[in-house]
Structure 1
């Protein structure tokens, strides 16, 4: 697979193209949002696990940089919990939404040929961006994440709530405790969603067991060649 480091109008990103990539062909997109303190390279390897031939994978860099808290190359979608504001979250939400709009135009996929997948803080942004925009995504995948603000999101829910949502979380997660994932699941179910929910005996990470459930789900909601 070919990996390119690129810059859109909104965000810096990695594009991972299939081995037989043809720029004249439209490709369904898998957008991967990294977690706090990571960067756009963190989730790029998932492309090899999901499908090497039929998707374009896009891994944007989060906008916030702070070497003192994030390290030299670390990024964040929002500050850590005690310091983040609604404005911080809104800014990143708009940047991600604009980025995806640019990528849809660039890669020419049909309507809702995008899966948005995020890990940890990227999972929080997946809920934030994806839930209010169901027509833009074939599905949402949240790995070791949670809904940041249940009350705020409840006021932005769409009328139709059939959007496919995949949730995976480690029971032993010390960063985002399993109760937060269960709370998010119960919130979604209470508002009419039917998320595909999985718990694993793992900590804060993406294990092979998670991939064994995630990969078939992506192929189901975003079939190759569509």
Structure 2
């Protein structure tokens, strides 16, 4: 790289990553009554990003792909911040907050291909739980340049496709744990992949993020999603070595509820279930296959502040499933609203791998 390009990277990357971390903080701690406080907590990191971008020079064509990734990620981050600030000023509502936060995974997707060549970005895409894991960093450095994220008919707006993450250091000489992560209502797998990628990259797991065949998962009526999940799983297993004893079905909100709908079926191939911020009807435990439920590892993750599915639902679900013979682990997070707790992923993976 030229000195000018290196200088520009050193100028823009720190405020860009700080802004993305601030947006992640908002996404994690978002609770409607606390919105103004959460926004005050993050300060205004986007101002430093605005200033840094104003000082960027023109880059040689050899580095155009890096500049494009930086520009794409910065634009997405700034649009997200602008949307959140508008709601702060009373120019929108909770729907506009969610709309603004949709820009965060777009920024992450733009930056991730550069993790192979820029160590600060590689570090950014690791979970804090592995901050002292020097062998992992050496392994990642030795695997630099390998494609790791793939999309199969999963462009934004498409339904029924999936996105896949295969760790850069994947080898076919052993079986790998698999996580199939289901997005929330009206979401998509391409975006939800980024809720899990850090943990999968840090601990070594195949990650699949499908998109529902309809506007959300088939929670009522004909179930077109379960056959599609099986199709996707079969396709992934034909490409990479999966441990049949360690296959987790997890999801957020509607995706978590569909973990119950699909994962409690007798023929489900998944060995572990982990619904997050989900709802559950007691009849589901009563009509579920007894043999399927007996000894089935289920981890329920729910927030005390959940305003969509009150925490009492999760508590009753824990009791109903345990009474039906499942091996239930229950995690109630006191500062979690109806949000995705990314910090739970490493513990879920360790539970899966144990």
Work out which of the two has the higher radius of gyration on C-alpha atoms and give 1 or 2.
Answer: 2
Change (3 A) 1:151 1:220: closer
CA deviations on 1:141-198 (whole Å, 9 max, x unpaired) are 1110122x43255223232611111111111111112122122212101212231101
**Alignment-derived partner of residue 137 in structure 2:** none
Change (3 A) 1:154 1:91: farther
Query: Which structure exhibits the higher relative contact order, with contacts defined as CA atoms closer than 8 Å and separated by 6 or more residues?
Result: 1
Change (3 A) 1:180 1:94: farther
Equivalenced residue count is 201
Change (3 A) 1:134 1:112: farther
Contact 2:213 2:224 in 1 (8 A): no
Residues 1:177 and 2:326 aligned together: no
Question: Going by fraction, where is strand more abundant, 1 or 2?
Answer: 1
**Alignment-derived partner of residue 49 in structure 1:** 199
TM-score (normalised: structure 2) = 0.51
Residues 1:40 and 2:189 aligned together: yes
Matches for 1:17-166 after TM superposition, within 5 Å: 17-22=166-171, 26-45=175-194, 46-52=196-202, 54-65=204-215, 76-78=216-218, 85-87=220-222, 90-133=223-266, 136-147=269-280, 149-159=281-291, 161-166=294-299
CA RMSD after TM alignment: 2.7
> Which residue among 331, 336, 340 is the counterpart of 1:206?
340
Distance in 1 (CA, whole Å) between partners of 2:201 and 2:169 is 12
Gapped regions of structure 2 (runs ≥ 5): 1-111, 113-147
CA deviations on 1:72-105 (whole Å, 9 max, x unpaired) are xxxx114xxxxx6332xx2222322332233233
Question: Going by fraction, where is helix more abundant, 1 or 2?
Answer: 2
Distance in 1 (CA, whole Å) between partners of 2:285 and 2:232 is 21
